[in-house]
Amino acid sequence: MSAPIRRALVASPTNPARIAAEELANLYDWVPVEQADMVIALGGDGFMLQTLHQMLEARRSVPVFGMNLGTVGFLMNEWRLDGLDQRLARTRPFKVSPLSMTARTISGETRVLPAINEVSLLRETRQTAKLEVTVNDRIVLPELVCDGILAATPAGSTAYNLSANGPILPLGSALIALTPISAFRPRRWRGAILPEKARIGITVLEAEKRPVSAVADQREIRDVARVDIEIDHIRDLTLLFDPEHALDDRITMEQFVA
């Protein structure tokens, strides 16, 4: 006889999530996150990303089943109080491979941060950024004049990437979207779809005159000189979804939203 699955409950500090957590706490047995085999997260997409990042920082990955008590809830399932055991028994798992961003600043500092949705580079001043872009150490854009550029995972392709007119990537497609933000030169470059094994390098040209910041999801590093981006399969994460609200289906249908 197998041991029962140990579950942890985490919730956003918002009032709806806090109330829902109190209701669930009275119906089921829970353990601390560090002892859990599965995590139930209550909140919105932002709280889900926060929960996943905490797992990355702790270097401990267990499946996460989110229920939406936020705004959009793209990464979440529908909130329902009853029938949690039955829902969890029917869930579909989806692997999410985060990006690893290695950023070197003008001053010589190097920092490595994970990104579940995207890594974005953004100009810090009114002057446009000038960027050299390489793929697998080959220069593909000697000079991109723009407001910035981003690299998005399939899970993050419907977030900032979509707002910047980047492509929607099906989950499991093993692809990375490389999308310019308000490109001025070359005018006709609209981005690229790269295999997930690609290593992306972005060097900031005239870095002191045209300062650029790098953001891994919500964590920002200012005044970067160079950023290297690649998929980090060692730190794969698992999201759980109701069969009728599977993430791959939702990503596909986003292509038809007016």
One digit per residue, the tens of pLDDT, for the chain of length 258 reads 457 889 999 999 999 999 999 999 999 999 999 999 999 999 998 899 999 999 988 887 899 999 999 887 888 999 999 999 999 999 989 888 999 999 999 999 999 999 999 999 999 999 999 999 999 999 999 999 999 999 999 988 988 999 999 999 987 788 999 999 999 999 889 999 999 999 999 999 999 999 999 999 989 999 999 999 999 988 899 999 998 765 667 666 676 766
Give residue 248's pLDDT.
67
- pTM listed for this prediction: 0.86
For residue 48, which phi and psi values (nearest 5 degrees)?
-60, -45
Q: Where are the domains of the chain?
A: 7-96+236-256, 99-234
Give residue 7's pLDDT.
95
Exactly one of 29, 37, 45, 223 is catalytic; which is it? 45
Give residue 74's pLDDT.
82
Assign 215 to helix, strand or coil.
strand
Q: Is 58 exposed, middle or buried (CB count within 10 Å of its CB: 0-12, 13-18, 19+)?
A: exposed
Give residue 246's pLDDT.
59
CATH of the domain spanning 7-96+236-256: 3.40.50.10330
Q: Are 189 and 141 in contact (CB under 8 A)?
A: yes
DSSP one-letter string for 35-81:
G-SEEEEEE-HHHHHHHHHHHHHHT----EEEEE-SS--TT-BPP-S
pLDDT tens-digit readout, 175-230: 999 999 999 999 889 999 999 999 999 999 999 999 999 999 989 999 999 999 99
Give residue 22's pLDDT.
95
Q: Is 223 one of the catalytic residues?
A: no
Sheet architecture: strand order including 219-221: 192-195, 175-181, 148-152, 118-123, 212-216, 219-221
d(CA 46, CA 54): 12
| CATH, domain 99-234, list 2.40.110.10, 3.40.50.720, 2.60.200.30, 2.115.10.20 | 2.60.200.30
